[in-house]
């Protein structure tokens, strides 16, 4: 059934979706904060990348690797449960999750360049930055799933990704990468929380109106 005031079917988000939505930014940010803290003083989080924290030359590289695996799984679970979003966006979010798992599996070497690592990085960046546009509706009860909000979110994410690309050999590479990586996960959390708050009362209202007055 469709809401007469909007161009989307009335679908609620399951209660469990909050867990992976909250966990994704916590794992990502917490992962690189903890992993950075245990590195030698030569590691500079403003200059050096997250991938180096998961690389074979890092101290306890399993910390960042595990965090990336967790983030990838969280994206997949959230894509499965984010039913109010358009299908194209959910598919792209799932692609971002798979790409994150792959970049955790194909780690950046200590020296040199790895195409097997860089391709998942690019795929994850493109998918995680653009999924809001493809998840949006022209009108929606969830304000963060409308076209205006979704295009704004994608614009900010792509802007941060462009900054990261431009800093490829610059002194702010690590900072740019952290900002670019964190933005999509924070937006995803905001979308899920907003969807839960907006659609649960709406679904109850529709159910009550269809079933008649209750005692």
In a domain, 205, yes or no: no
What mean pLDDT is predicted for residues 147-156?
97
24: in domain: yes
- For residue 12, name the pLDDT band (cuts at 50, 70, 90): confident
For residue 47, give its domain range: 16-194
Residue 95 is assigned to a structural domain of this protein:
yes
Which residue would you say has higher pLDDT here, 6 or 143? Answer: 143
Whether the per-residue pLDDT at 10 is higher than 80: the answer is: no
Assess if residue 38 is contained within a domain.
yes
Instruction: Give 155-200 pLDDT, tens digit per residue.
Output: 999 999 999 999 988 999 999 999 999 999 999 999 999 998 876 5
Total domain count, the chain: 1
Spell 66-103 as b/e; 16+ CB within 10 A means b.
bbbbbbbbbbbbbbbbbebbbeebbebbbbbbbbbbbb
Residue 6 domain-assigned? no
Residue 201 lies in a domain: no
211 found inside a domain: no
Say if 121 falls within a structural domain.
Answer: yes
Which tens digit of pLDDT belongs to each residue from 16-53? 999 999 999 999 999 999 999 999 999 999 999 999 99
């Amino acid at each position: 059934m469709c809401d007469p005031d909007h161009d989307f079917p009335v679908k609620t988000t399951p209660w469990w979706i909050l867990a992976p939505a909250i966990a994704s930014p916590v794992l990502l940010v917490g992962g690189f904060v903890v992993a950075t803290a245990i590195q030698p003083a030569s590691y500079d989080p403003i200059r050096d990348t997250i991938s180096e924290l998961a690389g074979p030359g890092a101290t306890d590289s399993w910390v960042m690797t595990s965090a990336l695996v967790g983030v990838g799984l969280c994206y997949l679970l959230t894509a499965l449960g984010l039913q109010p979003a358009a299908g194209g966006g959910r598919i792209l979010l799932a692609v971002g999750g798979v790409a994150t798992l792959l970049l955790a599996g194909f780690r950046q070497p200590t020296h040199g360049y790895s195409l097997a690592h860089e391709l998942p990085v690019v795929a994850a960046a493109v998918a995680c930055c653009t999924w809001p546009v493809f998840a949006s509706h022209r009108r929606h009860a969830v304000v963060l799933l409308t076209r205006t909000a979704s295009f704004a979110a994608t614009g900010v994410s792509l802007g941060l990704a462009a900054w990261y690309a431009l800093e490829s050999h610059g002194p702010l590479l690590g900072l740019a990468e952290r900002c670019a990586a964190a933005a999509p996960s924070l937006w995803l959390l905001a979308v899920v929380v907003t969807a839960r708050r907006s659609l649960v009362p709406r679904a109850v209202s529709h159910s009550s109106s269809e079933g008649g007055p209750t005692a």
